[in-house]
Each structure stands twice: as structure tokens, then as C-alpha cells.
Amino acid sequence: MGIQQMVSFVLRFYKPEDERAGHWRIKVTHVQGDEDIQANTLQEAIAYIHHVLHTEEAKV
């Protein structure tokens, strides 16, 4: 069983200085697509990853 396709993401969590305590932002980078988004919640980040995975799957 070999790998047919691989998609990579980098998630970076950061807290802007002017944000309230406990509120983090997430930068999600799609490595192969050389694009990224800023998300306010983990759910938004996962939704973006889900979208990219389905887009990549449609290309195969």
C-alpha cells in the first residue's frame, strides 16, 4: 500500500498583543498550495483544511 497523494498543513497559533486574555488566532498554511488563511477558531481552521482536502481529492 503506497501513498497516492499527500497534503501538508502548518498551523501557527499566536496571540496578538491587543487581544483579550485566552483568545488565540490561528494561521493555517497549505504547503503545496502556497497559501494561508487566518482563523479565529480551531473550527474555522479545520473547516479550511476540510475544504482544501476535498478540493485536492476532486483533482485526482
More confident residue, 4 or 47: 47
Question: How much is the pTM?
Answer: 0.80
What is the pLDDT at residue 51?
Answer: 95
Sequence spans of domains, the chain: 9-58
Nearest to residue 26, comparing CAs of 40, 46, 8? 40
pLDDT band at 8 (very low <50, low <70, confident <90, very high): very high
Binned at pLDDT 50, 70 and 90, residue 55 comes out as confident
Virtual torsion, Cα 9, 10, 15, 18, nearest 10 deg: -70
52 pLDDT exceeds 90? Answer: yes
- Percent of the chain at pLDDT above 90? 60
Q: Which amino acid is residue 48, in one-letter code?
A: Y
